[in-house]
Amino acid sequence: MKTTILTPTAEHLELAAKALCSGEVVGMPTETVYGLAANALDPQAVNAIFAVKGRPADNPLIVHISDLSELQKVVSHFSETASKLAQAFWPGPLTMILPRHPQIPDVVTAGLNTVGVRMPSDQTACALIAAAGVPLAAPSANTSGKPSPTSAEHVYHDLNGKLRYIIDGGNCTVGLESTVALIGDDTVTILRPGAVTEEDFKKIVANVTTDPAVLEGVQDATQPVASPGMKYKHYAPAAALTLVQGGFAGFYQVAANSAEEQSGVLVFEGEERFFDCPAFTYGKEGDSDSQAEELFGALRAIDESGCRQVFVRMPKTDGVGMAVYNRLLRACAFRQIQAENLFVLGLTGPTGSGKSVAAKLFAEQFGTVLDCDRISREVAAEKQVLRQLAAAFGEDVVSSGVLDRKLLADRAFADEAHHAMLDGIMYPAITKSLLEALKHQQGMVLIDAPTLFESGAQILCDAVLAVLAPPSVRLERILKRDGVTEEQAVARMRVQQQDSYYRDRADAVLVNDTEVNNLLKKAGELFGSFQKAKKV
Ligand code: TXA
Ligand code: MG
């Protein structure tokens, strides 16, 4: 059978609707993942879904409707709680498990007396359901054992030759399957977390719980489960995936120290550049929506890559993060490890703020300090970096393997473009050197970097502390410390970032406006509070 990907025009939807009415299956976009749809009232058509997907017959399907009026064909009772939830979350990524209407064939519900029902918000899905004129049963349109598809290409990849039409609705905006929830009288039990979260339900219904299988898996396969889907591994990746609890630096240690041949990593956007092995990304750190959207595509890319072992960055677990975590746990077959007990604190601030005083205290009482000024000088003596500097600023900035700092400074600070070129060479080299140093650290580590944010090295930090001071105090310190004229000191201060720059980006701010002892006291308290909170 030839499989065609169709754009969602009215004409194409009509074609697909006709195919559905004559008992065929069709690939359908929804906001969550693509579905493999068939007429829910036609047992033979529904049988075809199981055959095409290779799905176990005891795993029931979700019935999709486009209008509340269709509910009466699907459920036998729609409680007040269900009605409130429909009003709040439909159309959208919520599947409600409700008492089943006798007209719904056994093959849809795997013989259960309940049925899963959902009204998708995707316009194309709704138009297709309406054009077919019947509720559509649809599981995710992947081959069983693959991640759910989030684009028409994913569906084509898995099911090419097994169906006539796939409607292309673009990439799914949610990216994870719907929340599946058992709806009782004034109770909700979450069987599969999704974009409608426990927190969302609690605004509507008082009694909301999450089935333990969401985080623990099914412990005893012979026991009955609330949702048959819980029993299945769902997705069996070609590589052995392992979730790593902890921050980025701890993750880097695990990945660097346990890597074998054909190892890879699944990290957050921007982190991939630190790895020499194949590195895949799933969204931004701390942004569950983007992680949800990209996770399945990333898992597919890992499957294609030939990696045998992949370490995975831990997502946040609140809100939609719980759904991301749940899918990852299953992809990892519940394999999780804890990174080394390591807490990396970034220390930054403008010149003359008293940063070095705080760093000295840290070194004496809390842990290792990685001083970026020193690292920068070391890095500038490395062959590879010298070659890059010579290529960018002229061969004469390096003579007999030694950097002419004065000449380099003259050329690099001549204008913005040259300055940026210098940063473009130095910052990555410094960050690489920091990571190399972090590989062997434990406990508390401080990265002391005046340009922590500019260099991108804050990505290595679990928290960042900025030290600020009023301009008059800073001026006085620079004059005393560096033996420069007032004019030179003011010029130096002028090229520094404003206080707001640091305040916007740091996790904590220390204002150093009185005497040194006071700064030491405040810094000591702050370092101590991080140490206590992070148990390092
Ligand atoms: O977002 C979604 O839900 C997508 C799109 C296409 O709508 N569909 C989807 O379907 O993910 P599927 O078949 O891959 O997952 C349906 C899940 C399974 O875990 C199944 O066990 C559960 O819903 N389920 C369906 N009917 C149920 C019922 N009556 N009782 C308990 N669990 C049920
Ligand atoms: Mg599925």
Residue whose CA lies nearest to ligand 1 atom number 18: 229
Q: Report whether 461 contacts 447 (CB < 8 A).
A: yes
Cβ–ligand 1 contact at 52 (below 6 Å): no
Give, to the nearest 10 degrees, the angle between helix 288-305 and helix 321-331: 20
- The answer to whether the peptide bond before residue 91 is cis (omega within 30 degrees of 0) is yes
**pLDDT reported for residue 158:** 97
Helix, strand, coil shares of the chain, percent, nearest 5, are 45, 20, 35
**Residue 33: Cβ within 10 Å count:** 26
Q: Are 59 and 111 in contact (CB under 8 A)?
A: no
Cα(260) to centroid of ligand 1, in Å?
37
Average pLDDT over residues 225-250: 84
Q: Quick check: 277 pLDDT over 80? A: yes
Q: pLDDT higher for 387 or 258?
A: 387
How do beta strands 165-167 and 26-28 pair? Answer: parallel
Q: Which atom of ligand 1 is nearest to the CA of 120?
A: 7
The alpha carbon dihedral of 282, 284, 285, 289 has a sign of negative
Q: What is the pLDDT of residues 103-139, one digit of tens each?
A: 999 999 999 999 999 999 999 999 999 999 999 999 9
Is 356 close to ligand 1, i.e. is its CB under 6 Å away? no
Give the atom of ligand 1 at the shortest distance from the alpha carbon of 230: 19
Mean pLDDT (whole number) for 287-296:
98
458 within ligand 1 shell (Cβ under 6 A): no
Give the mean pLDDT of 479-484. Answer: 89
CA angle 216, 222, 225 (to 5 degrees): 55
Q: Which residue reads 């559509």 in tokens?
A: 136
107 lines ligand 1 (CB under 6 A): no
Query: Which pLDDT belongs to residue 251?
Result: 96
Pocket test for ligand 1, best of 62, 136, 144 (most atoms within 8 A of CB): 62
Atom 19, ligand 1: residue with shortest CA distance:
229
**Is the CB–ligand 1 distance for residue 74 below 6 Å?**
no
Cβ of residue 98 lying under 6 Å from some atom of ligand 1 = no
Cα of 409 from ligand 1 centre, angstroms: 63
Give the ligand with the smallest distance to the CA of 111.
1
Residue 267 near residue 280, CB atoms below 8 Å: yes
In 3D space, the residue among 389, 392, 391 whose CA is nearest the CA of residue 380 turns out to be 389
In the beta sheet, which residues pair with residue 464?
A: 346
pLDDT higher than threshold 90 for residue 62? yes
Q: Which residues contact 243 (CB under 8 A, 6 or more apart)?
A: 312, 314, 328, 329, 332, 335, 336, 337
pLDDT, tens only, 188-234: 999 999 999 999 999 999 999 999 999 988 777 677 777 777 766 56
CB of 174 closer than 6 angstroms to any ligand 1 atom: no
Q: What is the mean pLDDT of the chain?
A: 94
What pLDDT does 318 receive?
96
Using the atom order of ligand 1, give the atom closest to the CA of residue 109: 29
pLDDT for 228: 77
**Nearest C-alpha to atom 33 of ligand 1 is from which residue?**
227
* Ligand with the closest atom to the CA of 150: 1
Q: Do residues 251 and 244 touch, judged by C-beta distance below 8 A?
A: yes
Which atom of ligand 1 approaches the CA of 64 most closely?
A: 7
* Residues near 304 by beta carbon (within 8 Å), at least 6 away in sequence: none
Q: What is the pLDDT of residue 57?
A: 87
Probe residue for ligand 1, chosen from 53, 144, 180 as the CB with the greatest number of ligand atoms within 8 Å: 180
383: number of Cβ within 10 Å:
9
Q: Is the CB of 321 under 6 A from ligand 1?
A: no
> Using a 6 Å cutoff on CB, does residue 177 contact ligand 1?
yes
Determine the distance separating the centroid of ligand 1 and the alpha carbon of 348, expressed in angstroms. 49
d(CA 357, CA 359): 5
Does 342 score more than 90 pLDDT? Answer: yes
* d(C-alpha 425, C-alpha 454), whole Å: 13
- Place 73 in a pLDDT band, splitting at 50, 70 and 90: very high
Q: Using a 6 Å cutoff on CB, does residue 32 contact ligand 1?
A: yes
Q: What pLDDT was estimated at residue 261?
A: 83
**From the CB of 149, is ligand 1 less than 6 Å away?**
no
Element (H, E) at 403: strand 402-403
Between the CA of 127 and the centroid of ligand 1 the distance, in Å, is 21
Q: pTM of the prediction?
A: 0.91
Whether 59 is in the pocket of ligand 1, judged by its Cβ within 6 Å, is yes
Measured in Å, residue 143 CA sits from the centre of ligand 2 at: 9
- pLDDT on residue 536: 80
Measured in Å, residue 388 CA sits from the centre of ligand 2 at 50
* Ligand 1 pocket check for 173: Cβ under 6 Å: no
Q: CA dist 526 to 356, 453, 520, Å? A: 15, 20, 10
Closest CA to 328 of 308, 345, 314, 310: 314
Q: State how far the alpha carbon of 331 is from the alpha carbons of 56, 223, 361, 434, 524, in Å.
A: 19, 22, 44, 32, 43
142 lines ligand 1 (CB under 6 A): no
CA distance 528 to 85: 46
The most confident of the ranges 86-90, 349-353, 516-520 is 86-90
Residues in the chain, overall count = 536
Cβ of 114 below 6 Å from ligand 1: yes
Substitution candidate for ligand 1 out of 26, 65, 95, 119 with most atoms within 8 A of CB: 95
Q: Is 148 a residue whose pLDDT tops 90? A: yes
Q: Report CA(62)–ligand 1 centroid distance (Å).
A: 5
Token code pair at residue 216: 């623990």
Instruction: Find the 146 Cα to ligand 2 centroid distance in Å.
Output: 9
Percent of residues, the chain, with pLDDT higher than 70: 99
What's the 281 CA to ligand 2 centre distance in angstroms? 22
**Residue 253 identity:** Q
